[in-house]
Structure 1
């Protein structure tokens, strides 16, 4: 592997060695893995017609062939879970050929084509795993009508009978927008194009998210080389990750735009280290945060990268920090004034937290404390406990962010590794946690560290978490019996399929680590 990119300070150069292409036997294994994963993706895409996050008024209802699975929801869910299991297994097998430190490793082009084969069916089928895209449509339509989406909810702005409102989950119907102003400004223009056509709107938003993913695919291998990480290993853990396939390509979460713009900005800023280049990268990073606020965290760590490359002196810190700070203020001023919604975007930091999930550790602790107080006869103090845990979480995030910035400035940790650690803390410490939030940290860490402990942990967690969210993206009140039946059927079918193909696949266990790998 050859690369002329400047190695970032604190990066591990041990992986910057040449590797040979995979041999004939391994190419045969790669072909089998590709077909297995593509088959799983096609199966999942087929199940989406009956068990996906389809609109309330589903045009497939009543159709003889395409609408068949809409009348068999349990069968459709079993088909979806079978496809999910096959994709996760294929990803793990593929990881066997993408291990850092191997003498022969899958090429970047081979891996990109494999991920493309797996992602294409999911890009063409109905949405899966989440109904957030309907919130994008509704909140963008509120903005298109000249209303302030930070003050007016879809229920108030559009009415309960509007086709966009009817598809928004109940927990978000009467809630202001949790998204950044630039995201809503862009959505406002999309709404002017699509009118009230839900299907067309979903397709347009999917194209937008795929553009964000394409930016990430461009930036990840280049940043990985700067960090001494093999680009194939970085792409496998990030772009080919089942969470990306399920929740970015199919679920269409705007993490695709935030992360894609963020990584592209960092790469361009490191490539063009001039005042104009730094200002341009700072503007792009500000734009990433104006889509989803966590993107702003990257500004500080990008600045530290530049400071270290310029000598790591205090005057370098003040010069770079002053420039990026000025760019941030100027960019957000332009966006805020252009939107016409004032400073309502400040509330986006807290709107998502109005929905509580027990997946968030501190929220689970707060709810447990409230439940314990009721059991002890002390009254219901759940809200008070959650308010306390929320403050504690924010303090933890602030402390970790400042500590990581300091350590990276002092050269004790590579800045992009520190950024990934900060994103991980943010995902775990805020009151709400969704599986796709893990991408905030997994992607930066995948391209910046060769730590085997991280790769083992990330592989196990991503494989498990990708199977947690049901394909419908909704609860199963009054029909919970469907879930175990569908899962059992999928597991039985998956076991039979694996037994039939196992001799054609690589040994699975080395995917999770390698002896002698470095830690950081």
Structure 2
């Protein structure tokens, strides 16, 4: 069993299973059930079940996150990682929606379209969805922010499912299929990038965020990640082949037609598409064909659904929630507090968010140029150096993972399941185990941000959380600047 002691592995496996069972119990006693309003701790205390629900939830999450962290350097084997992650998911399949009420929004959005209404024209409450009471109040009057492909999937779920319970079951089936598709792609991507599959599979699939939010919460992020990883795997296996590029582009286009966040991966997927030497001509040829497949599928789904690009307008409402878990929003909130102390009012939060988006654009361009330059340099490495064969896909995948991480950090709002985007890509692209800690630890920490009914602990720690996050941002800026200056002053290595 490699370098993991059998006793430790058994403790992790069965401790995590106990944690998943505790989370399921917490979900049935105080989860995001249809007849509840998601009132948070106050509502739980009124029911008298708060000690049991919160105790089971925190203990279960601690067991899952602790077990995941304990084997961050790699599970005993790839097979062991898959079996254990699957064992942990089994109880969560029987749980009600956990950690979020978004699945009820999906159900109503599907019902709205199936009933002949435009889900991009207004909220689900105005359209008359019969299940609107189960939707979180903040999202009842906002247009759908998801792409036409997911609206079609949600409408199919509402039609096939009939009632609310049946619709939720179909939506959870979508999420499970998305996670399974991602799980099938992880070994191939990891091997192509030179990453041990036993570590990549463990980091990608055993994270509590995957079980709690992607599976039990039935978030459509699972569908996106499944399509995204499959598209990247096709590019890794068959770079430069016209049919493969069109297929990969179609998969990435479907991911984009679910959530717009997939857009930031396309430039790095274009680097994976190149076969042979990295030249501008080769990039234009292969990446152009990939883009044609992707945006062609997006256009087809938009036309066939009759929805067009109306979903882009819904994206403007994604920032209606103001929580310190988003770094730019936290900085803006601190600006508001300082303004109130000085007796002035200014739009600190909108300004901070705009600045973050500008910095994000710069960061994405810089990441792509770094990846392009690194790949161009690899063209000059002698072909006989076999150990560098994995460097090309690793560079592109690492760039895609970092781009997703930057997007999540710069977004106007952050929810814990957003962290699964960079997690699954970085898990197959990060080679040294020590370097995985910087994204494993935050993912473990944000697992504790939500309660089983979907309420966020960030809502109850607004001021101290905003100050703490702002201090973290300042510390990151200072440390990053010092590191950059240190690299500039360091003399170049010989040769």
Q: For 2:409 and 2:292, how far apart are their aligned partners in 1?
A: 30
| Corresponding residue of 1:292 | 259
| Corresponding residue of 2:357 | 394
| Corresponding residue of 1:510 | none
| Corresponding residue of 2:328 | 362
SS of corresponding position for 1:331:
helix
Query: Quick check: 1:322 aligned with 2:288?
Result: yes
Query: Quick check: 1:81 aligned with 2:58?
Result: yes
Q: For 1:479 and 1:252, how far apart are their aligned partners in 2?
A: 25
- Please report how far the alpha carbon of residue 94 of structure 1 lies from its aligned counterpart in structure 2 after TM superposition: 3.4
SS of corresponding position for 2:99:
coil
C-alpha spacing 1:70/1:216, structure 2 compared with 1 (3 Å): farther
Q: Which runs of 5+ in 2 are unaligned?
A: 38-45, 376-393, 462-495
Q: For 2:190 and 2:231, how far apart are their aligned partners in 1?
A: 14
| Corresponding residue of 2:5 | 26
| Corresponding residue of 1:36 | 15
Contact 1:47 1:77 in 2 (8 A): yes
SS of corresponding position for 1:187:
helix
Return the TM-score normalized by structure 2: 0.83
Match for 1:106 among 72, 76, 79?
76
Q: For 2:182 and 2:47, how far apart are their aligned partners in 1?
A: 35
- Please report how far the alpha carbon of residue 172 of structure 1 lies from its aligned counterpart in structure 2 after TM superposition: 0.2
- Please report how far the alpha carbon of residue 442 of structure 1 lies from its aligned counterpart in structure 2 after TM superposition: 1.6
| Corresponding residue of 1:245 | 211
| Corresponding residue of 2:481 | none
- Please report how far the alpha carbon of residue 475 of structure 1 lies from its aligned counterpart in structure 2 after TM superposition: 5.6
Number of residues of Structure 1 aligned to a counterpart in Structure 2: 434
Match for 1:123 among 93, 97, 119?
93
C-alpha spacing 1:269/1:366, structure 2 compared with 1 (3 Å): same
Match for 1:332 among 298, 301, 312?
298
The 10-residue stretch of structure 1 (125-134 or 270-279) with the greater mean CA deviation from structure 2: 270-279
Contact 2:114 2:158 in 1 (8 A): yes
C-alpha spacing 1:329/1:95, structure 2 compared with 1 (3 Å): closer
The 10-residue stretch of structure 1 (468-477 or 428-437) with the greater mean CA deviation from structure 2: 468-477
Match for 2:122 among 152, 160, 181?
152
Contact 1:293 1:348 in 2 (8 A): no
Return the TM-score normalized by structure 1: 0.79
| Corresponding residue of 1:201 | 167
Query: Quick check: 1:90 aligned with 2:67?
Result: yes
Contact 1:269 1:280 in 2 (8 A): no
C-alpha spacing 1:330/1:451, structure 2 compared with 1 (3 Å): same
Contact 2:161 2:167 in 1 (8 A): yes
Q: For 1:240 and 1:479, how far apart are their aligned partners in 2?
A: 29
Q: Which runs of 5+ in 1 are unaligned?
A: 1-20, 59-68, 99-104, 481-520
Q: For 1:372 and 1:453, how far apart are their aligned partners in 2?
A: 39
| Corresponding residue of 1:444 | 425
1:99-119 per-position Cα deviation (integer Å, ceiling 9, x unaligned): xxxxxx611111100001111
Match for 1:419 among 386, 392, 400?
400
SS of corresponding position for 1:317:
helix
SS of corresponding position for 2:318:
helix
| Corresponding residue of 1:301 | 268
